Amino acid sequence: MTTSREIRLKSRPVGVPTQADFELATVEVAAPGPGEVQVKNLWMSVDPYMRGRMYDRASYVPPFELGKALQGGAIGQIVASNDPEFAVGDIVNSMFGWREVFNVSPAAIKAAGGAMGALTKIDTHGLPPQAFLGILGMPGMTAYAGLLRVAALKDGDVVFVSAAAGAVGSVVCQIAKLKGHTVIGSAGGPEKVAFLKSIGVDHVIDYKATPDVVAELAKVAPKGIDVYFENVGGVHLEAAINSARPFARFALCGMISQYNETGKPVGPSNIIQAVGKSLRMEGFIVSNHYDLYPAFARDMAEWIKAGKLTWKETVEDGIARAPDAFIKLFAGENLGKMLVKLG
């Protein structure tokens, strides 16, 4: 028997989530049964999209269940194994989420065909394992697919990225830069601005220090933008539409400014410009683009080896801090990937 702590969803948040919406529980985990492995999580991920799963509504993933441990990406290590394909010490990626230790039967999951439930062995190639929750994991893949496929980046494009210092945005900025584009990033606060400048972003908009994001974008992109990578919504979307050149393409990845909205959100008042400018605004979910994974893995490895990609982490320590880590996302308190260190 092993003791494991986990974070459960206690109540569905109204507005910005609070500590009271979560509860920490302790459970006993038996030795793994036949065909099972036992995984001790080392790192877990909190991501903005999880807010959507806290609502009780139909969406592209089912809602989280009240009273149960939250699900999400985690990197762990095999501590006991009854599956010949997994050895003690192996590093694994999973979606079982907000818990310290769990048992799972990899073969049973595979038989059920559940991609969300898969346990995947990782060769870290000497990189820190938590990078596979960030730049080399779902957020990196989101950046890659959104910029290169959904927004269909092409030579000469001027690229605008909101939440540019986040786990996804910072990868978008760097891929666009290493491909030779002019990049404009928006982020809040001097630390993020400095980071974005350090990775070569051409113009940084500190939206917290800017009274008018629409005017500011128009100023720093006098000839307009061709690609917008949307993470924020609200005034950022309005600014992007206003500055869009004809045939601009928007990859709509998320709208974090609206995730906790309790009233009626404000839509982009200038959406009519999409007609005259022949804009294409396209939403996407990374799970529909995993056919790009081999290309992603190859390109990212090459770019990291060449020193063209870097990343930041914001780390909270211990599973009890996971709700805090999650809540901080919505105040923009993370620089780069927000992680919880469990190991």
Min dist CB 282 to a second copy, Å, is: 4
Residue 281 binding a second copy, by CB under 8 A: yes
Q: Residue 239, interface with a second copy (CB under 8 A)?
A: no
Amino acid identity at 57? R
Q: Which is nearer to a second copy, 258 or 310 (CB)?
A: 258
Minimum CB separation of residue 237 from a second copy in Å reads 7
Output the smallest distance, CB 48 to a second copy, in A.
Answer: 11
CA torsion, points 218, 222, 226, 230, in degrees to nearest 10? Answer: -20
Q: In the bound complex, what is the minimum distance in angstroms from residue 184's beta carbon to a second copy? A: 21
Q: Which residue from 212, 134, 163, 168 is spatially nearest to 333, judged by alpha carbons? A: 163
Q: Which is nearer to a second copy, 84 or 276 (CB)?
A: 276
Among 46, 70, 104, 279, binds a second copy (CB under 8 A): 279
Residues forming a β-bridge with 204: 185
Distance CA(71)–CA(65), nearest Å, equals 10
Dist. CA 234–CA 188, nearest whole Å: 15
H or E element, residue 236: helix 235-243
For a second copy, give the closer residue by CB, 12 or 179.
Answer: 12
Going 132 to 134 to 140 to 146, the CA torsion angle's sign is positive
From CA 31, how far away is CA 41, in angstroms rounded? 16
* Tokens 């290169």, residue located: 148
Amino acid identity of residue 303, one-letter, is W
Give least dist CB 175 to a second copy, A. 20
Q: At its nearest, how many Å lie between a second copy and the CB of residue 151?
A: 12
Q: Find the DSSP H helices in 95-230.
A: 106-112, 138-145, 169-178, 190-198, 213-220
Complex with a second copy: residue 69 or 281, whichever CB lies closer? 281
Determine the interface stretch with a second copy among 167-175, 183-191, 198-206, 267-275 (rule: CB under 8 A).
267-275
In the stretch 155-194, what mask flags binding to a second copy with x, by CB under 8 A? ----------------------------------------
Neighbours of 51 (CB within 10 A): 21
Nearer to a second copy, 90 or 226 (CB): 226
Q: Which of 109, 127, 178, 266 binds a second copy (CB under 8 A)?
A: 266
Q: Which of 125, 278, 295, 298 binds a second copy (CB under 8 A)?
A: 278
For residues 49 and 254, the answer to whether their CB atoms sit within 8 Å is: yes
Written as one string, the DSSP assignment of 12-31 is: --SSS--GGGEEEEEEEEPP
Indicate whether 314 belongs to the interface with a second copy (CB under 8 A). no
Q: Is position 237 an interface residue for a second copy (rule: CB under 8 A)?
A: yes
Contact call for residue 276 and a second copy (CB under 8 A): yes
Tokens of 76: 């762990």
Provide the token pair at 99: 């818990």
Binding piece for a second copy, criterion CB under 8 A, among 111-119, 158-166, 245-253, 309-317: 245-253
Among 10, 40, 179, 280, binds a second copy (CB under 8 A): 280
Q: Give the distance, in angstroms, between the CA of residue 304 and the centroid of all CA atoms in the same chain.
A: 19
Residue 246 touches a second copy, criterion: CB under 8 A: yes
Binding site for a second copy (CB under 8 A): 52, 59-60, 233, 237-238, 246, 252-255, 258, 264-285, 288
